[in-house]
Every structure is written in structure tokens, then in C-alpha cells.
Amino acid sequence: MSRSTSYPGRRPGKAPMVCAALFAATLLAACAGQGAALGDVRYDLGPPAPASAASMAGPLPPLKVLEVNAPPPLDNDSILYRLSGNEQRTGQYANSRWTMSPARMLTLRLRAALGAHATVLSGIDAVQAPMLKIELDQFEQVFDSQTASSGVVSGRATLMQGAKVIAQHVFVAHAPAGSPDAAGGVRALAAASDDFVNQVSAWLATQQLAAAP
């Protein structure tokens, strides 16, 4: 992560390049040092936050919630971070990992939340029902500086009835991290995941979903 980073309002030059390189080197050293100190640490998202009162207006018909689809970097147990403004480079914390992939964790989070308002089915169930598909685009800790970062979760939701697409929407959730390390990133990503799930739930509540005949 030593590539130069240009920020809005600043001309690229030697000083910004040196600062970006030092920032990246410091962050990488901190991440590696934390892993060495703590050993192999496993994290999950913890218990879900209470659902927003406005997230659901009432019960839904039975709903198929497919496994969240994700690109390879988000379909393993690495905890990822990124420097804001350097969109082509990511890093991962040494010796700090998820208990399962972000895609799997978000699938379980989403099914649990929607299960309070609908009969949640998997994609292999033979029952005819509306189908929700999530394509995860981002699940990482984004650093704006050496001390300021946030958890960012984004993805596209597609709602289908049979072979027909009913609606599609992109959701983005942010939550500030309390510390510039894996533990802070995990807490921020847990909060952002809850926000993401609440956004999807509220969106589903606005859709006209017909029960299967």
C-alpha cells in the first residue's frame, strides 16, 4: 500500500507521495504488529442490534433469501482494510480473521432479521415465493487517516417473482470505528451490517409482494 494517493484540492507531488507512503507503511506495520501480539484471533459480528421500528410495516409473505453472492476477496475469512483514495489496493489483518466469510455472515444476519416478519426459505426450497438476491460489493474497514476509519458495507439487492425482476436497489452502510485496528474494524462492520440489513428490510416493506398461489 505504498502507492501515492492524491486528495481533492491538492496537486500531486513529492510531498503527498511521501506522506501517502509513510501512512501506508505505518498502517501495515501496525496491522502486522497487532496480529503478532494477539496471535490467531477469530471474530464474528456478535449479536444483532434491535431492528429499527420503521424497518418493517407488517408481515411479509414467504420469501426466498438466497445465499449472499460475493467476489473472491469477500468470500473467505480475511478482515480487509483500505486507504481512502487508493481504490486499487487493499490489505488484510495478520492473524485476525472472521469465523466465516462476510458473505456467509451477512446471509445469516439477513435471514434472522427477515425471519421475524416472514417465513424465510432458501433457494433450494421447492415452494414458489418471491426471491431476494444480494450481491455484496464491499465489506471492509476504510481509513481516512491513521486514526480515523469506518466500516463500509455495500451491495445490490434484487427482488424477483418467478423469472420477473420486481425491483433492484444498491445499499451502502457506514459506521465509525472506535479504534484503528482489527477489533475496531470488526465492531464498525457489525454496526454497518445491521444498518445494511435494516435498509434492505425497509425497502422490502415498500414492495408489493404477492403470496404464492
> Does residue 155 register a pLDDT over 60?
yes
Q: What is the reported pLDDT for 56?
A: 55
As beta bridge partners, residue 158 has 133, 168
Per the domain annotation, does 67 fall within a domain? Answer: yes
Cβ atoms 94, 36 nearer than 8 A: yes
- Go through the chain and tell me how many residues it has: 213
pLDDT band, residue 5 (cuts 50/70/90): very low
Per the domain annotation, does 16 fall within a domain? Answer: no
Per the domain annotation, does 19 fall within a domain? Answer: no
Per the domain annotation, does 68 fall within a domain? Answer: yes
Per the domain annotation, does 17 fall within a domain? Answer: no
Per the domain annotation, does 210 fall within a domain? Answer: no
- Please give the single-letter amino acid code of residue 210: A
Write the pLDDT tens digit of every residue in 46-63.
987 766 544 555 577 889
Domain membership of residue 50 as a residue range: 40-205
End-to-end Cα separation, the chain, in angstroms: 55
Count helices and strands (H / E) in the chain. 3, 8
Write the pLDDT tens digit of every residue in 160-195.
988 899 999 999 999 999 999 999 999 999 999 999
Per the domain annotation, does 136 fall within a domain? Answer: yes
Task: Give the CATH number of the domain where residue 117 resides.
Answer: 3.40.50.10610
Cβ atoms 57, 202 nearer than 8 A: no
Look over the chain and give the mean of its residue pLDDT values, rounded to a whole number.
80
- Helices 102-114 and 182-205, interaxial angle, to 10°? 40
Per the domain annotation, does 7 fall within a domain? Answer: no
Q: What is the reported pLDDT for 193?
A: 97
Write the pLDDT tens digit of every residue in 59-110.
778 899 999 999 998 999 999 999 877 767 789 999 999 999 999 999 999 9
The total domain count for the chain is 1
